[in-house]
Amino acid sequence: MATATVPREHAVTRKELIEKLNEDLSREYQAIIAYVVYSQVLKGAEYMTIAKELETHAKEELQHALKVSKHIDYLGGMPTVTPLAVKTSDDAKTMLRADLENENNTIRAYRERLRQCEALEEYGIAEDIREILRQEQEHQSDLAMALGVDVPDVSRKA
Protein backbone atom coordinates (compact mmCIF):
# COMPACT_ATOMS: atom_id res chain seq x y z
CA MET A 1 0.00 0.00 0.00
CA ALA A 2 2.95 2.30 -0.64
CA THR A 3 0.89 4.46 -2.98
CA ALA A 4 -1.45 5.42 -0.14
CA THR A 5 1.27 7.78 1.15
CA VAL A 6 1.71 9.54 -2.21
CA PRO A 7 -0.23 12.81 -2.38
CA ARG A 8 -2.77 12.48 -5.18
CA GLU A 9 -1.40 15.32 -7.32
CA HIS A 10 2.00 13.58 -7.59
CA ALA A 11 0.63 10.18 -8.54
CA VAL A 12 1.09 9.55 -12.25
CA THR A 13 1.21 6.44 -14.41
CA ARG A 14 4.35 5.57 -16.37
CA LYS A 15 2.51 6.64 -19.53
CA GLU A 16 1.75 10.04 -18.03
CA LEU A 17 5.35 10.39 -16.89
CA ILE A 18 6.51 9.72 -20.47
CA GLU A 19 4.16 12.46 -21.71
CA LYS A 20 5.39 14.92 -19.09
CA LEU A 21 9.05 14.12 -19.85
CA ASN A 22 8.32 14.77 -23.52
CA GLU A 23 6.99 18.20 -22.56
CA ASP A 24 10.27 18.72 -20.67
CA LEU A 25 12.20 17.62 -23.76
CA SER A 26 10.33 20.14 -25.96
CA ARG A 27 11.28 22.80 -23.42
CA GLU A 28 14.95 21.67 -23.51
CA TYR A 29 14.98 21.95 -27.33
CA GLN A 30 13.49 25.43 -27.01
CA ALA A 31 16.26 26.35 -24.56
CA ILE A 32 19.00 24.99 -26.84
CA ILE A 33 17.70 26.99 -29.81
CA ALA A 34 17.21 30.19 -27.81
CA TYR A 35 20.67 30.00 -26.21
CA VAL A 36 22.42 29.15 -29.50
CA VAL A 37 20.82 32.13 -31.25
CA TYR A 38 20.76 34.68 -28.43
CA SER A 39 24.38 34.03 -27.41
CA GLN A 40 25.46 35.03 -30.93
CA VAL A 41 23.19 38.00 -31.55
CA LEU A 42 23.39 39.80 -28.19
CA LYS A 43 25.10 43.12 -28.87
CA GLY A 44 26.71 45.69 -26.63
CA ALA A 45 29.71 45.67 -24.31
CA GLU A 46 27.51 45.29 -21.21
CA TYR A 47 26.13 41.99 -22.55
CA MET A 48 29.39 40.28 -23.53
CA THR A 49 29.74 38.38 -20.26
CA ILE A 50 26.19 37.06 -20.31
CA ALA A 51 26.51 36.21 -24.04
CA LYS A 52 29.45 33.91 -23.18
CA GLU A 53 27.42 32.47 -20.31
CA LEU A 54 24.52 31.71 -22.69
CA GLU A 55 26.88 29.64 -24.85
CA THR A 56 27.62 27.52 -21.80
CA HIS A 57 23.89 27.23 -21.11
CA ALA A 58 23.32 25.96 -24.67
CA LYS A 59 25.75 23.09 -24.09
CA GLU A 60 24.20 22.22 -20.74
CA GLU A 61 20.69 22.22 -22.22
CA LEU A 62 21.89 19.74 -24.87
CA GLN A 63 23.10 17.44 -22.10
CA HIS A 64 19.69 17.77 -20.42
CA ALA A 65 17.91 16.90 -23.67
CA LEU A 66 20.09 13.79 -24.05
CA LYS A 67 19.37 12.66 -20.48
CA VAL A 68 15.62 13.26 -20.72
CA SER A 69 15.52 11.40 -24.07
CA LYS A 70 17.36 8.48 -22.53
CA HIS A 71 14.82 8.22 -19.73
CA ILE A 72 11.85 8.48 -22.10
CA ASP A 73 13.32 5.58 -24.09
CA TYR A 74 13.98 3.64 -20.89
CA LEU A 75 10.33 4.07 -19.90
CA GLY A 76 9.29 2.67 -23.29
CA GLY A 77 8.32 5.99 -24.91
CA MET A 78 9.49 7.75 -28.05
CA PRO A 79 11.32 11.06 -27.50
CA THR A 80 9.59 13.98 -29.22
CA VAL A 81 11.27 15.89 -32.05
CA THR A 82 9.30 19.12 -31.52
CA PRO A 83 10.61 22.18 -29.67
CA LEU A 84 8.38 24.72 -27.95
CA ALA A 85 8.28 27.99 -29.91
CA VAL A 86 11.23 30.35 -29.43
CA LYS A 87 10.61 34.06 -29.12
CA THR A 88 12.56 36.15 -31.62
CA SER A 89 13.75 39.68 -30.92
CA ASP A 90 16.82 41.82 -31.57
CA ASP A 91 16.49 43.56 -28.22
CA ALA A 92 18.90 42.26 -25.58
CA LYS A 93 16.55 42.75 -22.62
CA THR A 94 13.65 41.08 -24.43
CA MET A 95 15.83 38.05 -25.18
CA LEU A 96 17.11 37.78 -21.63
CA ARG A 97 13.59 38.18 -20.21
CA ALA A 98 12.31 35.43 -22.51
CA ASP A 99 15.13 33.15 -21.33
CA LEU A 100 14.36 33.94 -17.69
CA GLU A 101 10.66 33.22 -18.18
CA ASN A 102 11.51 29.90 -19.85
CA GLU A 103 13.85 28.95 -17.01
CA ASN A 104 11.13 29.77 -14.46
CA ASN A 105 8.73 27.45 -16.28
CA THR A 106 11.40 24.78 -16.58
CA ILE A 107 12.18 24.88 -12.87
CA ARG A 108 8.48 24.64 -11.98
CA ALA A 109 8.10 21.66 -14.31
CA TYR A 110 11.18 19.77 -13.05
CA ARG A 111 10.18 20.25 -9.42
CA GLU A 112 6.87 18.61 -10.27
CA ARG A 113 8.65 15.88 -12.26
CA LEU A 114 10.93 15.10 -9.36
CA ARG A 115 7.96 14.49 -7.07
CA GLN A 116 6.26 12.36 -9.73
CA CYS A 117 9.39 10.24 -10.31
CA GLU A 118 9.75 9.65 -6.60
CA ALA A 119 6.07 8.74 -6.31
CA LEU A 120 6.67 6.10 -9.03
CA GLU A 121 9.87 4.99 -7.24
CA GLU A 122 11.89 5.95 -10.34
CA TYR A 123 14.79 7.11 -8.20
CA GLY A 124 17.38 6.88 -11.00
CA ILE A 125 15.43 9.32 -13.15
CA ALA A 126 14.77 11.49 -10.09
CA GLU A 127 18.50 11.72 -9.41
CA ASP A 128 19.24 12.97 -12.93
CA ILE A 129 16.39 15.46 -12.73
CA ARG A 130 17.74 16.75 -9.42
CA GLU A 131 21.09 17.49 -11.12
CA ILE A 132 19.37 19.09 -14.13
CA LEU A 133 17.30 21.21 -11.75
CA ARG A 134 20.44 22.43 -10.00
CA GLN A 135 21.79 23.68 -13.34
CA GLU A 136 18.45 25.27 -14.33
CA GLN A 137 18.53 27.23 -11.09
CA GLU A 138 22.02 28.45 -12.00
CA HIS A 139 20.74 29.51 -15.43
CA GLN A 140 17.86 31.34 -13.78
CA SER A 141 20.19 33.13 -11.42
CA ASP A 142 22.66 34.08 -14.22
CA LEU A 143 19.79 35.66 -16.18
CA ALA A 144 18.31 37.46 -13.18
CA MET A 145 21.74 38.90 -12.42
CA ALA A 146 22.25 40.04 -16.03
CA LEU A 147 18.85 41.75 -15.92
CA GLY A 148 19.53 43.26 -12.51
CA VAL A 149 16.44 41.66 -10.94
CA ASP A 150 15.92 39.35 -7.96
CA VAL A 151 15.79 35.65 -8.68
CA PRO A 152 12.06 34.98 -9.18
CA ASP A 153 10.29 32.87 -6.59
CA VAL A 154 8.69 30.05 -8.53
CA SER A 155 7.51 27.98 -5.57
CA ARG A 156 3.95 26.74 -5.84
CA LYS A 157 2.91 28.29 -2.57
CA ALA A 158 4.07 31.82 -3.42
Contact footprint for Fe ion (CB under 5 A): 28, 61, 64, 136, 139
Q: Which is nearer to Fe ion, 6 or 151 (CB)?
A: 151
Give least dist CB 5 to Fe ion, A.
30
d(CA 120, CA 123): 8
Give least dist CB 132 to Fe ion, A.
6
Helix axes 48-74, 123-147, angle to 10 degrees: 160
Q: First and final CA of the chain: distance in angstroms?
A: 32
Give least dist CB 130 to Fe ion, A.
13
Give least dist CB 134 to Fe ion, A.
11
d(CA 156, CA 115): 13
Q: Which is nearer to Fe ion, 71 or 139 (CB)?
A: 139
Q: Which is nearer to Fe ion, 6 or 112 (CB)?
A: 112
**Dihedral over Cα of 13, 124, 74, 105: its sign:** positive
Q: Which is nearer to Fe ion, 17 or 58 (CB)?
A: 58
